[in-house]
Amino acid sequence: MDRNEPKGIQELFQELMARNQAPGESAKRLSALLVDCTLKYRDEMYLEKGIVVTVEDVQRSLSWLLPALSTGNIPQLANEIQDGLLRRWVSELTGADQGAQVSHE
């Protein structure tokens, strides 16, 4: 596992927070939850399958997060890593199992 990758993922979320000049407490908690969830997912994928989750995987999953949360439809992403990460985030944020809510986009 590339030890620079965790820093890259954390920097991605820090950059997103910096775009909002005065992030509120809820935004900070959300960011912390997403970082924690992402790093756990990254470690699980590497330890269990030898798969490296990249910053690009995180960015692509992140681009689907708000649409999935706002519509309630979680698309089936073609990339297994990105799809798994998106479902993990939605599950963490909503407390629901995301296996049943699939939209084939």
Q: Is residue 105 included in any domain, yes or no? A: no
What pLDDT is attached to residue 67? 92
Q: Is residue 43 included in any domain, yes or no? A: yes
What pLDDT is attached to residue 53? 95
Q: Is residue 19 included in any domain, yes or no? A: yes
Structural domain harbouring 87: 4-97
Q: Is residue 82 included in any domain, yes or no? A: yes
- In degrees, to the nearest 5, what angle opens at C-alpha 17 toward C-alphas 11 and 20? 145
Number of structural domains (the chain) is: 1
Q: Is residue 26 included in any domain, yes or no? A: yes
Q: Any residues with CB less than 8 A from the CB of 52 and at least 6 apart, and which?
A: 1, 2, 5, 42, 45, 46
pLDDT tens digits for range 6-47: 567 777 777 766 665 556 777 778 888 899 999 999 999 999
What pLDDT is attached to residue 78? 92
What pLDDT is attached to residue 1? 45
Closest CA to 61 of 13, 3, 24, 25: 13
pLDDT tens digits for range 60-81: 999 999 899 889 889 899 999 9
